[in-house]
Amino acid sequence: MTEEPMETVREEAPSNAEVSNDLSLEANDQMKFNKSELRAVAGKPIKLTLKNVGKSTKESMAHDCIIFKPGTDINAFSQKAMTDKANDYIPPSEKGSIIAHTKLLGPGEEDTIEFTINEKGTYDFICSFPAHYAAGMKGK
């Protein structure tokens, strides 16, 4: 008796992110967000609260959250942002690629923003403080 090969079916891993238009995100001194995926319903207002739970000074370890329009070159944005301290690392020349962003936060600070994304899709978010995006401070 010969055995027939088993067919292997790979499925995409299910998302662990809860769908909610009232979102929270934390940033820490290890240059990490506590979530790499946020899910919301398109066409309805979204409220996002970012909290910096770190202890390091704002000068050495500040955090923000920037949500981008589809098609944005995040690497290019990050390169320009690193040198734009005067504008809290959000270059004015790149504002057209941003849907929404929080303030740059020091330790213990938080900021809540409200915005609407009308089209379903996948949108990138990052922290623009120097070297944070390169260290993996990003999500969808």
Q: Are strands 45-52 and 22-27 parallel, antiparallel or unpaired?
A: parallel
DSSP letter for 118, please.
-
- Confidence category of residue 16, pLDDT binned at 50, 70, 90: low
Distance CA 77, CA 42 (A): 25
Where b means 16+ CB within 10 Å and e means fewer, 4-43 reads eeeeeeeeeeeeeeeeebebebbbbeebbbebeebebeee
Q: What is the largest CA-CA distance in the chain?
A: 75
pTM of the model: 0.87
Locus of tokens 């922290």: 127
Supply the pLDDT for residue 17: 74
For the stretch 53-91, pLDDT in tens is 999 999 999 999 999 999 999 999 999 999 999 999 999
For the stretch 101-112, pLDDT in tens is 999 999 999 999
Backbone phi, then psi, for 58, in 5-degree steps?
Answer: -60, -35
